Amino acid sequence: MNSSRLHLLWIAGILLSLIVSVNEARSPQLHVPAGFSVQTYASGLKGVRLMALAPNGDLFVSETRAGRVLVLPDRNHDGRPDRVLTFAAGLNRPHGLAFHGGYLYVANTNAALRFAYQSGDLKARTRGVRLVSLPSGGEHFTRTLVFGSDDLMYVSTGSSCNVCEESNPQRASVWVYDANGQHGRRFASGLRNAVGLTWFQGQLYASANGRDYIGDNLPPEASYKLKSGGFYGWPYCYPQANGLQVFDARFGKQNPKICNAAQKPFATITAHSAPLGLRFYTGSNFPASYQGMLFVALHGSMNRSSKSGYKVIALNPKTGQSQDFLKGFLAGQTTLGRPVDVIVSADSALLVSDDFNGAIYRISHTKN
C-alpha cells in the first residue's frame, strides 16, 4: 500500500473518530436519583411530543412536525416496544392525545379530531372526524386536550404572540366541550401557552409558559390549579416568585387593578424553563414518597443568557416545592436533549419523550 493511500486512510480514520465523538458528545448523559434506573425506550423517532396510553396499555405518541400519530405496543411486557407503527398520518401538526369512550382524540393545530378505536387497534379504522375548529398559526401552534371525570373535553390553545390582546377568545385559554365537540365555552383564560394539562383527584392542573423579553429571571414559569371562569393574568399580569401577580407595565394596556383578579400559581420555577407535559405519579413501582407527586418536563429556555430547564422535575402540589428528577440534557450550555412529556406506563414506569433526539426514555425504581 503506497504512502498517499495510507495518508488518506489515516485522515479518514481521524474524521470518523471525530464524527463518533461528536455524536457521543450530543447524546444526553442521563441521571436519576439513587435507586432508579433510566434506559432508552425508543429511538429514531421524529420529534416526538405528547403521549397517551390506550385502554390496553399501548403507548401512543404524536410526531407533530411529521403529521403522524404512532403506536408503540409492548405485548410481551418486556419494558420495550415490540414495534413502532403509524396509527394515523397526514395530520396537521397533531399534538395532544386522549382516549375516551371508544375513541382516540387528537388535537391538530387547527382542529380537535377523533378516531374510532377498539382495544388493540394498531391502525386507524377510518379518517378522523373533525369535532372542533381551533385557530391556527401564530407564535404557539401546539394544542393539548384531556378528558375529566365529568366526561368533558378540555382543550388548550396558546397565544398568537408573545404579549398582545387577542381578538379570538379561544386563544390563550382552555375551553371545555362535550365529548362530541358541542356546547363549547371558555373554562379558563389568561394562559399564554398552557401546553401541559392533567387531571388529578377532580382538579385540573396546567403548566404555563410566561412571556419573553423582560429579562433572564422574569417572569418565573408557573403551574396552576384551574377553575371554571378563572383568569390567570396574561397579557396584563405575570407572577412573581412568591406567586403574587404583578402588573406588566411594559404592556400597560389595562388598569393595574386587573391583576387583583388574576389567580395565583401554586408553584413557580426558574424563568424561561418552558414547562410542557405534566403527570401525577399513580403507579406502583416508585417509592411511596413519590405517590401523588407531579412530574413536569421542562423543555428548556430559548432566550436566556444562561440556559434553564432541560430536565424533568418532581413537584409537590401541596407545598409548591420541586426537586430535580431526570437531568443530563445539558452539558454546560450545550443542548443534548429537550424533554417534552411524561406519562406513567402500564407497568408503572415513567416514560419521558424528547423531541430533540427523537427518543423516549423509561425510568423505573430498582432498589428493594
All 3 cell numbers of residue 292? 401523588
| Beta carbons of 240 and 228 less than 8 angstroms apart | no
State how far the Cα of 43 lies from the Cα of 84, in Å rounded to an integer.
10
pTM value is 0.92
Q: What is the pLDDT along the chain (368 residues), one digit of tens a residue?
A: 444 443 443 344 433 333 333 344 468 999 999 999 999 999 999 999 999 999 999 999 999 999 999 999 999 999 999 999 999 999 999 999 999 999 999 999 999 999 999 999 999 999 999 999 999 989 999 999 999 999 999 999 999 999 999 999 999 999 999 999 999 999 999 999 999 999 999 999 999 999 999 999 999 999 999 999 999 999 999 999 999 999 999 999 999 999 999 999 999 999 999 999 999 999 999 999 999 999 999 999 998 999 999 999 999 999 999 999 999 999 999 999 999 999 999 999 999 999 999 999 999 999 75
What domains does the chain contain, in order, with CATH numbers? 27-365 (2.120.10.30)
| Beta carbons of 194 and 207 less than 8 angstroms apart | yes
Strands (E), 118-182: 129-133, 143-147, 153-157, 173-177
How confident is the model at residue 275, as a pLDDT? Answer: 98
How confident is the model at residue 4, as a pLDDT? Answer: 47
State how far the Cα of 281 lies from the Cα of 96, in Å rounded to an integer.
19
For 26, the enclosing helix (H) or strand (E) is helix 3-26
| Beta carbons of 208 and 223 less than 8 angstroms apart | yes
Which residues lie across from 197 on neighbouring strands? 206
3-state secondary structure of 165: coil
3-state secondary structure of 98: strand
| Beta carbons of 112 and 99 less than 8 angstroms apart | no
How confident is the model at residue 57, as a pLDDT? Answer: 97
How confident is the model at residue 368, as a pLDDT? Answer: 58
How confident is the model at residue 27, as a pLDDT? Answer: 80
How confident is the model at residue 76, as a pLDDT? Answer: 93
Among residues 194, 118, 121, the alpha carbon closest in space to that of 154 is found at 194
State how far the Cα of 42 lies from the Cα of 247, in Å rounded to an integer.
44
